[in-house]
């Protein structure tokens, strides 16, 4: 359950939240199971934040900083995360169907068991991302960097897409 203090800080708006985060860099906010449906959080600093099972459907997280954030089983369907920094984020078991992740940095991200159906991943950086059991059916991977991304036989790719040609590594 989300911490009431952390939720109150977030309700103050992105600018106040970012100032608070800058002043308290060691703090790891807990927004687990938070309802942030359709909230505009563009430019927010969610580095290291616990967003376990959070509802971020249709949220705007354009140019957000979410390095090392925990979004296990979070719902980000139809979310716009264009140009967000998601380095080393944990999105395992998350739902990112129909989300816009155009030019997103997903280096070292954990997308194990994630739903990425029809997700816009154009020009996304998935260097060394974990894609085991992920469903990328219908995803747009045009210009995406998949070098050393790891997948398994249960990973579902878009039609006519060859992950090995894109530099991904099959690991089972």
What is the residue range of 120's domain? 1-172
Q: What is the CATH number of the domain that holds 18?
A: 2.160.20
pTM: 0.96
Q: What is the pLDDT of residues 24-38, one digit of tens each?
A: 999 999 999 999 999
Nearest to 109 by CA among 84, 123, 92: 92
| DSSP-assigned states of every residue in 90-148 | B-TT-B-TT-B-TT-B-TT-B-TT-B-TT-B-TT-B-TT-B-TT-B-TT-B-TT-B-TT
Q: What is the pLDDT of residues 105-118, one digit of tens each?
A: 999 999 999 999 99
Q: Report how many domains make up the chain.
A: 1
Quote the CA–CA distance of 141 and 123 in Å, as a whole number: 7
Q: How far is CA 25 from the centre of its chain?
A: 21
């Amino acid at each position: 359950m989300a911490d009431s203090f952390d939720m109150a800080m977030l309700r103050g708006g992105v600018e106040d939240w970012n100032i608070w985060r800058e002043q308290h860099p060691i703090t790891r906010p807990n927004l687990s199971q938070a309802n942030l449906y359709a909230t505009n959080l563009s430019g927010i600093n969610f580095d290291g934040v616990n967003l376990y099972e959070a509802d971020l459907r249709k949220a705007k997280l354009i140019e957000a900083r979410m390095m090392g954030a925990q979004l296990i089983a979070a719902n980000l369907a139809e979310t716009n995360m264009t140009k967000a920094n998601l380095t080393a984020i944990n999105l395992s078991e998350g739902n990112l169907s129909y989300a816009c992740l155009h030019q997103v940095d997903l280096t070292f991200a954990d997308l194990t068991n994630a739903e990425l159906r029809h997700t816009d991943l154009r020009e996304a950086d998935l260097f060394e991302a974990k894609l085991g059991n992920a469903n990328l059916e219908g995803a747009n991977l045009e210009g995406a960097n998949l070098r050393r991304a790891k997948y398994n036989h249960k990973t579902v790719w878009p039609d006519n897409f060859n992950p090995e040609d894109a530099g991904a590594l099959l690991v089972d």
